[in-house]
Amino acid sequence: MKDNGWVVSTKDRFARVKVRCFSSCEGCAAQSLCHKEDQSMGFLTVINSAQAHPGDKVQVYIPESSYSRSLIFIFGSLLLSALIGMFIGYACSTFLPVSSSPASVGGLFLGILLAGLWNARYLRKKKQFLYPIIMEIINKGAHHGST
């Protein structure tokens, strides 16, 4: 999804962009990243790939497909790890002096914990792909280039 907004501030490789909120905001993948000021305006933290400055009108690309893939990966890996952990716990109960129910529940929680750690590592690596990106500067502001 693409949207237009105005750069409010910049810091390092990021910019804070003011965008208009429309009725379609409720279904937007970046809704969790948007800090709404009121019903009509919101703020997004975006990667400033175009080197925009405060006052510039910019076009922002919101990578909805990346959000969807990441969510499917996260929840899928949690579910799969929970099931595998539960099965391993159940299988280990035949070798250990523990009944199958507590061993299965322990395996379930261990699987979820390991998947959670794996997902945290995955998200740290993929973090830059989940941020909206400034694609281009549409109109340079009055203070373009000044510090």
Decide if 147 is inside a domain: no
Residue 147 has pLDDT above 50, yes or no: no
Residue 97 has pLDDT above 60, yes or no: yes
pLDDT in tens, 15-64: 888 887 655 555 555 555 555 555 567 788 888 888 888 888 888 887 77
Residues 115 and 73 occupy one common structural domain: yes
Which residues are 44's β-sheet partners? Answer: 17
* Phi, psi for 97 (deg, rounded to 5): -80, 50
Decide if 76 is inside a domain: yes
| Tokens at 50, concatenated | 């175009």
Residues 23 and 47 occupy one common structural domain: yes
Residue 115 has pLDDT above 90, yes or no: yes
Decide if 145 is inside a domain: no
- Structural domain count, the chain: 2
Confidence of residue 128 (pLDDT cuts 50, 70, 90): low
Residues 110 and 80 occupy one common structural domain: yes
pTM of the model: 0.56
For residue 24, give the DSSP letter: G
Residues 69 and 52 occupy one common structural domain: no
Q: Which domain holds residue 31?
A: 2-63+131-139
Decide if 98 is inside a domain: yes
